[in-house]
Amino acid sequence: MSRIVSVAVFSALLLLSGCLHINTSRRGGPASSQFADVECQCPAKNGTVAIIHFRSGESTALPEARQLIYENIAECIALRISENPNLKVLITGHTDKLETPENSLGLGKERAITVLEYLLGDVFENLNDLAQEFGSFPISSEKVDNSGSTGDLDNVTQAVSFSKDVLRNHFCTASAGKDKLVDEGDTEEAHARNRRVIIEFVQECDQG
């Protein structure tokens, strides 16, 4: 009972804290605009978790986005996976319309993979923290012990020993290229809004 109450309190605090909205206007310079580099929430099941924006032609997350992936987004995903072992996380990369058709799909995929690699380490760390605080919990419909046989996990150490490999199976990546613009405008702000990765909870997705 204490574990359930503790997790509920943790979940409530996470929902209240949400994600900070960091605007490009804080950095100044000609590329500044009012769109948020990171927008995020923590839905219980299906739904958008976060939208992360990128600089033109780049697949590296901005420092502010990297910080919030670590501090907020990974924490949310770890919590929801611990609650629902069948939950999937779909990461879809998008580009602005300035990219050529040939480049847009590849760049979108690179952005999605960049975010995936950030999340794998950060979510794993958060899952370990939850396991150590509340005891082991399922993160897959199948349990595997240190010997490779299936069966119930006996302790937190066993949970940690296999979960990083299993964790990757909860994620899939995709690229929409420039096919799903959120802003058809020709301004820098419009292009900036379109250069994004969307992280969302789904029940099924193809592994990427």
pLDDT at 27: 31
Tokens (6 digits) for 1: 């009972």
Cβ-proximal residues to 58 (8 Å cutoff; 6+ apart), any chain: none
Mean pLDDT of 117-137: 79
In 3D, which of 90, 107, 88, 89 has the Cα closest to residue 179?
107
How long, in residues, is the chain? 208
Q: How many CB atoms lie within 10 A of CB 150?
A: 8
Helix (H, G, I), strand (E, B) or coil at 188: helix
In 3D, which of 178, 60, 66, 51 has the Cα closest to residue 122?
66
pLDDT at 146: 40
pLDDT digits (tens, 9 = 90+) for 25-39: 323 332 223 344 566
- Cα of 154 vs its chain's centroid, Å: 29
**pLDDT above 50 for 22:** no
Confidence of residue 3 (pLDDT cuts 50, 70, 90): very low
Phi, psi of 127 (to 5 degrees): -65, -40
Instruction: Provide the 8-state DSSP code for 178.
Output: T
pLDDT at 110: 98
CATH, range 2-28+37-202: 3.30.1330.60
Q: Where are the domains of the chain?
A: 2-28+37-202
pLDDT digits (tens, 9 = 90+) for 36-53: 456 678 898 899 999 999
Residue holding tokens 């779909």? 90
Quote the CA–CA distance of 66 and 77 in Å, as a whole number.
15
Q: How many CB atoms lie within 10 A of CB 50?
A: 25
